[in-house]
Structure 1
Amino acid sequence: MTGVPFLRHFLLQNPKEQCGMVNRLTRYAQIARVLSKYGFGIILQEFYPNDRRPDFLKKDPDLGSDDVYRRIRLAIEELGPTFVKLGQILSVRRDVLPAPLIQELQLLTDKVKTVPYEDVQPVIQETCGEEDEFCSFVEREPIAGASMSQVHRAIMADGNEVVFKVQRPDIRELIEVDLTILEDLAERAEKSHPYLRPFNPVGLIEEFSKQMRKELDFIMDGKNAETVALNMKDIPGVKIPKIYWEHSGPRLLVMEYIDGVRIDDVDALKEKHDLKKLAEVGFEAYLKQVFIDGFFHGDPHPGNLLVTDDGQIVFLDFGMVGILRPERRLAYTRVFYAIISNDIDMLIDTLADLGVKIAPDDIENFKDEMYVIYKQTENYQMDQFSFGDTMNTLTSILHRYKIVMPGSFMLMLKVITMIGDVGSHLDPEFDIIGKTTPYLNKLIISSMFSTESLDDAKHAVTREILGFPKAFRRFLENFSSGRFRMEVTVPEIRSLNDGLEYLSQKMVYSVLAVGFMISVALIAPTVVNPFSEWQGYLLMGSLVGLVLAVLKLWSQKPKR
């Protein structure tokens, strides 16, 4: 146990590690053993020279020829659920990590050996009481298992078929220990390796810890499912399982059992269903979730998407969701639209709005590389085109130019890419760009006339109108007081003239904008069909006038 003194010293240097030291000490030793086994124990060399390093910290000789990225993936899998989840989240960061590592991280699976029903039964009884009081049958053998939970079929006392998603015993304690260790390692990494600071390892682990704690709360999982169900209620062909809240809790989620076939099982599906329609329904559902609702299912791998006998697509597992605020949702819409329509200037401008800067010396080269992607894919036949490969190339460019995108954008990109791949698997002729471009084009145009945009325009106009009398009165007071006669020189006369011209133009366009806004408000309620009535043409003319007036108003700048 020559490794213990080092680990004890490591913990004693951190006051926050004092609580639960024995468990954490054991876990540190496990992590050190796994990292060393796969050849990542170099950090321990200063503590253990090769001739004195204990056996459990030596690399497994059978792994000597393995690729380094494969060894990273194998180490993550052996370290357990916390590290697997971290690897899965990092797998979307194509803008930060090298492509070969991303490919390995995408192979991570959190499927593990299930535990006997007797081990999880106390969790069910803790939440619901004795089994025979609320259900007539529970299938002892789980129908699915993951690192944090496993799923058992059951029949309730009222005859409803359900599934129990039940948390594995002691998983919460293990994850909390791992999160504490990861937080400490992130802090140490930033201090000892300053070049890592732009990637913000501490912030990344903080966000990851929040996500993991959310996933440990199955109530949050159920609420996410209900939110998506409410947003999808008007989309035919989509189904979300019902949650039985009276029997659910933080460690147990009881939901409707829905029988179905995995969406990637093409041979089984093509016997009963129109695969083209399935691809379209699934893709359009995700477009709505991302770009309209701003609340989307964050893990659309084929195991979480089933197809029922009547052709409905069932969404499962809402532990991970993406959430986009309205202003960020519009910005991401513009970014994605710019990418697929090859509008590089729009892309650069929108990235700047998001606070993502490109070094001035790199802009022209960046534009050239983006143009090459566009030309390479422009003439592909659909059976030759891979949207996923194109996004991989794009994110490699982002990585090369050190452009770090927001994590929520990369999750969105991952979801769209995954569901696009599912669509292409169902229908080789599935045109992801052809279906996305008009959808986003419509959203961008409609956003100009949204309630929020009109409110912003109204407030801007109001501010200008209300501010004009005060500015003009201040000018008259200064002029009448004689101060201008004492101080005015020829350059100041020019400046004064420019200021008056600027204020007068502001006033003219403000009055025009208000007039058009009033016209729209009066005419809109009377229009039934805008393309067959004179009121409709008048309404469209007023809208165009309003937009032009507001744009002109915003473009006015005082002369310097």
Structure 2
Amino acid sequence: MFRTLIDFGRLVRAALILARYDALIPKEFAPMVPVPVRILGRVSRIGARGKGMRPGQRLAQALAGQGPAYVKFGQLLATRPDIVGFQMAEDLGALQDRMPPFPNDVAKAQIERALNLSTEEAFASFSEPIAAASVAQVHKAQLKDGRWVAVKILRPGIEDKARKEFRAFMLGARIAEWLIRPARRMEPVKFIKTLSDAAAVELDLRIEAGSASEIAENLSEMEGVRVPDVVWDMTSRRVLTIEWIDGVAISDREGLVARGVDQPALAKLVLRTFLQQALHDGFFHADMHQGNMFVDGQGQLVLIDFGIMGRLDEQARRVFAEIIYGFIRRDYHAAAKAHFDAGYVADHYSVEAFATALRSVGEPIFGRDADRLDMSRVLQQLFDVTDVFDMHLRPELVLLQRTMVVVEGVARIIDPQINLWDTAEPTVRDYISERVGPRALLKQAKANGTAALSLFEAFPQFAAAAEEAAQQVMDGGLELSDESIDRLAAAIKGKRPKSKKGKAA
């Protein structure tokens, strides 16, 4: 009870700050809530700041003033445009993750506790903080063997603070479900639980190290892409040590020109790197914004910061590929059928009607260069279509779509003339041919043929065992001894059964 009162106090404090920016019950959403809540919203807006700003912009400003957990909450909200809408997700995506750094002596104490080594024992040199965010800060250091590394250290007490803040969020979600009927469809309690789980993963830097290692392995054969190596013996739950790579930010167009980087080629590489991860590997960097990519001295694309990752199972990857490929070929019936085959749209709807709805999304954008195409608006329209057909989107696919919007924006900054469809087509086509097309059918047929041959070779043993069982039935009952069961199983598998003494029966 006492803890609930404390959580309620945190919630009231957060509500007052949100109200200061008209982000508690924004005027734009007032018609959607019950009258008592609408009146509360009107009162809360007295003296509010941020006039002339969009709801997402006001919310971003409000969250930025409340501390690390709230900043992270806003960033995680930005990954769920299906819930908050693409405009708000885009506004929250610009939420600056910059916080004052904690002192160097505190950082060194954290390292000593995490690694059982003093910074003097672990490193030849150790810098002041070079970047500080809501969850952690980064230092540049040199190992005793001369290698330069980036050392990421969690903020002191961040785990406990995040746990308390998310507990308050959960209380707010329960209140929202109780008070606001339209909010129930959004399942705020389930949503906060998802965000809390995601934050817990991000607060264990060993998992981030594992993600970096897995992405590096998956992309090892992709030319022009590089992922820093993890220094495992200098990594723990609260400290991540990773290879330092000098480079120029991909947002620095003048720097790219100075290095002679082929910017159209780089933009295509960014997009294809994302598609390679999502389609072929099923594990993708879900935070591929400009700050997490740069170009090294050899002209290679470098990915960093693997705190937010997405994973897709084989079915989700196949459906995603079929939908994208359907749009690329303007085969909207195929794209619609992929939705139905996956069970995303209920059978009582018409495939043809859904295909027509998808055509209304695809035709206005087909063949346009990136400078004439806003993918966030396209996906918002796609979400509107799926809402009409009562389609329930899977969270991992929404995260994938959100990441696509971010990657599209990055590619467009590098090369405003990039043609997204032409760039995506080879990667998607290769996946389709490998997993869905004739090559996949041939591979499956070969596997089926091998299984059929094994069954054919085992048929005599299987027939003999079945005949013996039938004879037992005729003689008054079937008694399956361990040996009989072994013979039947061995016959099905195509092996000769062994006697109890180990000899062939």
Rate the CA distance shift 1:73–1:459 in 2: closer, same or farther, 3 A: farther
Does the 8 Å CA contact 1:92/1:102 hold for their aligned counterparts?
Answer: yes
Are residues 1:275 and 2:263 paired? yes
Is the CA contact 2:23–2:62 (under 8 Å) kept in the aligned structure 1? Answer: no
Does 1:332 pair with 2:313? no
Percent identity for Structure 1 against Structure 2: 24
TM-score of the pair, normalised by structure 2: 0.78
1:80–1:398 CA distance, 2 compared to 1 (3 A): farther
Q: CA deviation at 1:261?
A: 0.8
The yes-or-no answer on 1:35 pairing with 2:18 is yes
- 222, 225, 228: which one aligns with 2:209: 222
What's the secondary structure of 1:241's corresponding residue? coil
Alignment of 1:345 onto 2:333: yes
User: What is the CA distance between 1:333 and its match in structure 2?
Assistant: 1.4
Equivalent AA in structure 2 for residue 226 of structure 1: S
2:278 matches 1:295? no
Q: Which runs of 5+ in 2 are unaligned?
A: 26-32, 467-505
Structure 1, residues 53-87: CA drift from partner, whole Å, max 9, x if none? Answer: 9xxx8854444665444322222222333333333
Distance of 1:322 and 1:46 partners within structure 2: 40
Partner in structure 1 of residue 123 of structure 2:
135
Task: Tell me if 1:179 matches 2:166.
Answer: yes
Distance in 1, Cα, partners of 2:175 & 2:329: 43
User: What secondary structure does 1:150 align onto?
Assistant: strand
The alpha carbon displacement at 1:438 in A equals: 3.4
Question: What CA distance in whole angstroms lies between the structure 1 residues aligned with 2:8 and 2:183?
Answer: 26
Alignment of 1:71-150 (within 5 A): 71-128=58-115, 129-140=117-128, 142-150=129-137
Work out the CA distance in 1 between the residues paired with 2:12 and 2:153: 29
**Structure 2 equivalent of residue 519 of structure 1:** none
Shift of 1:387: 4.1
Structure 1 CA distance, aligned partners of 2:347 and 2:269?
Answer: 41
Q: Which moved more, 1:416-425 or 1:175-184?
A: 416-425
Unmatched segments (≥5 aa) in structure 1: 1-10, 474-560
Q: Label 1:73 to 1:227 Cα distance change in 2 as closer, same or farther (>3 A).
A: same
- Deviation of 1:296 after TM superposition, in Å, equals 0.9
Residue aligned with 1:143, SS: strand
Asked if the contact 1:143–1:152 (Cα under 8 Å) also holds between the matched residues in 2, the reply is yes
Q: Counterpart of 2:319 in structure 1: which amino acid?
A: A
Contact 2:108 2:118 in 1 (8 A): no
Q: 1:424 aligns with which of 412, 422, 433?
A: 412
Contact kept in structure 2, 1:222 and 1:253, CA below 8 Å: yes
Return the match for 2:383 from 395, 400, 405.
395
CA deviation map 1:113-160 (0-9, x unaligned): 2222223221111123212112121112x2111100010111122221
SS class of match (2:167) = helix
2:127 touches 2:141 (CA, 8 Å); kept in 1? yes
Give the conservation status (yes or no) of the 8 Å contact 2:208–2:306.
Answer: yes
Q: Is the 8 A contact 2:296 2:302 kept in 1?
A: yes
Deviation at 1:431, TM superposition (A): 1.9
Q: Sort the Cα spacing of 1:117 and 1:362 in 2 relative to 1 into closer, same or farther, 3 A.
A: farther
CA offsets per residue over residues 481-508 of structure 1, 9 Å max, x none?
Answer: xxxxxxxxxxxxxxxxxxxxxxxxxxxx
**CA drift at 1:221:** 0.3
Cα deviation for residue 161 of structure 1 reads 0.9
Name the aligned partner's letter for residue 446 of structure 1: E
Q: Contact (CA 8 Å) 1:289, 1:295: kept in 2 or not?
A: yes
Q: Residue in 1 aligned with 2:365? A: 377
Instruction: Say if 1:238 and 1:314, in contact at 8 Å, map to a contact too.
Output: yes
Q: What is the CA–CA distance in structure 2 between the aligned matches of 1:76 and 1:392, rounded to whole Å?
A: 24
* SS of corresponding position for 1:311: coil
Question: Structure 1 residues 58, 91: closer, same or farther in 2, change over 3 A?
Answer: closer
**In the alignment, which residue of structure 1 is the partner of 2:306?**
318
Distance in 2 between residues matched to 1:25 and 1:413, nearest whole Å: 35
Looking at structure 2, the residues matched to 370 and 202 of structure 1 have their Cα atoms a distance apart, in angstroms, of: 31
How far 1:382 moved relative to its partner?
A: 5.7
Q: Which one of 417, 433, 438 corresponds to residue 426 of structure 2?
A: 438
Matches for 1:145-160 after TM superposition, within 5 Å: 145-160=132-147
Amino acid at match of 2:286: G
* Aligned counterparts of 1:322 and 1:343: Cα–Cα separation in 2: 28
Q: Distance in 2 between matches of 1:337 and 1:46?
A: 48
How is 1:198-217 mapped onto 2 (pairs within 5 angstroms)? 198-217=185-204
TM-score by length of 1: 0.71
Q: CA deviation at 1:286?
A: 1.7
* Contact 1:97/1:399 (8 A) holds in 2: no
> Map of 1:527-546 to 2, 5 A cutoff?
none
Offset of 1:241 from its aligned partner? 1.1
Q: Which of structures 1 and 2 has the bigger CA Rg?
A: 1
- Aligned-pair RMSD on alpha carbons? 3.5
- Equivalent residues of 1:35, 1:41 under 8 A apart: yes
Secondary structure at the aligned position of 1:163 is classed as strand
Amino acid at match of 1:30: R
Deviations 1:274-294 (A, max 9, x none): 222222333222221110011
**d(CA) in 1 for partners of 2:316, 2:173:** 28
The residue number in structure 2 matching 1:264 is 251
C-alpha separation between the residues in 2 aligned to 1:30 and 1:154? Answer: 40
Q: In 2 relative to 1, CA 270–300 (structure 1 residues): closer, same or farther, beyond 3 Å?
A: same
Deviation per CA, 1:346-379: give whole Å up to 9, x if none.
2232222333226856866654443233332235
Displacement after TM superposition at 1:252 (Å): 0.6
